[in-house]
Each structure stands twice: as C-alpha cells, then as structure tokens.
Amino acid sequence: MTAHGKKYRADRKQVDSEKRYTLDEALNILEKFQKAKFDETVDISLRLGIDAKQTDQMVRGACSLPHGIGKKVRVAVFAKGDKIKEAQDAGADVVGADDLAEKIQGGWMDFDKAIATPDMMGVVGKLGKVLGPRGLMPNPKLGTVTMDVAKAVAEQKAGKVEFRVEKASIVHAPVGKRSFGPEKLRDNIKALIDAINKAKPSSSKGIYIQALAISATMTPGIRVDVNSLV
C-alpha cells in the first residue's frame, strides 16, 4: 500500500460515515487530517433539490470569497480604446482584441479567466468552441462581460469563484486552501452558500440544499448537517 493509501485510511477512521457534522466540526476534523506535501485545495460539494435537466432550474453564478481561493489567477481581457489601459492598470495579465483572439485560436491558453467588454463579444463569440468547453467564455451573468473592466479584473484576481450545477444536481466549487485554517474556510463557505441560495430557481420546490460535503485534494470527504448552516 502506498504512503498516500495509509494516510487516507488513517484519516478515514476519524470520520463517521453515518454522521452529519456541523460545519465547525467538519472543518476541525479536516484540520486534523494528515497534511500532503503541497497546500491542498479545499472543495465543497452540494446536492440541490432541483431537476438539472429543466432549463428553468439552472443554478449558475459567481461569488467573491472574503479570503480568496489562495491561487494566483491569470486574467485575459478583451478590450479596446481606453479600456485597454483600465484593464492593465487593474492587473490584467494580457489585454487585446483581434490580436488576442488570433493568439487563442492559435492554441495559446495561458490564462484562468477571461473578461470582455460588451463591444468585444462579436470577436469573442468566434472563440466559443475553444473557450466554451474549458468554462472560459465571458458571460454577463458571471460579471465577466462588463464595461467596468477594473472591477471585474480585481474580483477575479481576488478569487471570485464560479459555480454551476451539473447533471446529477451537484455543485462543486473550491473554497480555499488547507493553510487557511477553519475560520477563513468557514467565512468562504458561508459566502458561497449564500450565493448559491440566492441563485435558487423560483420553480424549485421542497428542500433546496439537500446534502453537503467538504474535502481537500488528498482527504476523505466529511458530510455536513445542512441544518447547521442556517
């Protein structure tokens, strides 16, 4: 058995798989798990009481986490005119128009988020097949198609997290790094859950957040009592 397998089994014994822990209990257990050689990302998974096949029950949005996600985010901006300088001053890693689109068509993908001003969407739209599958297409609902380029760049750099429901009505999202510790992780999780609650479709009936688990890259998952989040 590998060292990782032994660590995982030892950590697994600290979790009662039948139990639903409060968020604070779960974060304290996560803190006690053995650490990997790198700073692991902490994720949450939620199961929502919606039918993801129905278009009117799509849950999607973005949320600025109070403590960021602990990752350097590389931002590309499609803009022209005075918006180029605005994007550069805000810290964008690369700014361009048709030249940037050509670079991306040629296979360059050295960025994590893309932002565009509305007047650039004609150019960006042609990149749909490249950006779409990678989740990089600018979108007005996510605040990444906007004239307020400086604000959008600052939010992405600070760790704005996008969330989107998947086929089995599950939402996965990163909420920080293990080095953050329980308090910062709790702040981030609460902020993300608030945003997911606000994105609840009006056609969704019954219990909306049905299950929640937290885990880090190399750890077992810990189930959280949804009622403890209220």
Distance CA 116, CA 208 (A): 33
CATH 3.40.50.2300 fits 18-68+160-229, yes or no: no
pLDDT digits over 53-91, tens only? Answer: 888 888 989 898 999 888 888 999 999 999 999 999 999
pLDDT on residue 1? 43
67 close to 207: Cβ distance less than 8 angstroms = no
Distance CA 166, CA 35 (A): 30
User: Both tokens of residue 195?
Assistant: 């945003």
Judged against a pLDDT cut of 80, whether residue 3 lies above it is answered with no
| Longest CA–CA separation in the chain, Å | 59
Q: Which CATH superfamily is domain 75-158 in?
A: Ribosomal protein L1/L10, domain II (3.40.50.790)
The residue type at 178: R
70 close to 165: Cβ distance less than 8 angstroms = no
Q: What is the mean pLDDT of the chain?
A: 92
pLDDT on residue 77? 98
For the chain, what are the domain ranges?
A: 18-68+160-229, 75-158
